Amino acid sequence: MTSICREIFKALHEGKWLTIEYRNKNDKLTKYWIGIKGLNKDKRMLTVDGLHLGFLTCKEH
């Protein structure tokens, strides 16, 4: 199990927020905290609440 999978499993199992960072299309670093609400293993998708740390907005993704 990779470290990314391990962190996702831990957040899902313990019901805790998970920190996500990625480079967007403009090559800027985007930071989120996500709370995992559901898992669809057939589609390999997570349903999450995401808190954007730059704008302090919360959305369901």
Spans of the chain, pLDDT less than 70: 1, 56, 60-61
Give the pLDDT of residue 30: 86
Q: What's the token pair of residue 25? A: 């299309």
Q: End-to-end alpha-carbon separation of the chain, Å?
A: 25
Give the pLDDT of residue 60: 67
Give the pLDDT of residue 31: 87
Residue 25 half-sphere exposure toward CB, CA atoms < 13 A: 0
- pTM, full prediction: 0.68
Cα 59 versus chain centre, distance: 12
Q: How far apart are CA 44 and CA 10, in angstroms?
A: 17
Rg of the Cα atoms in the chain: 12
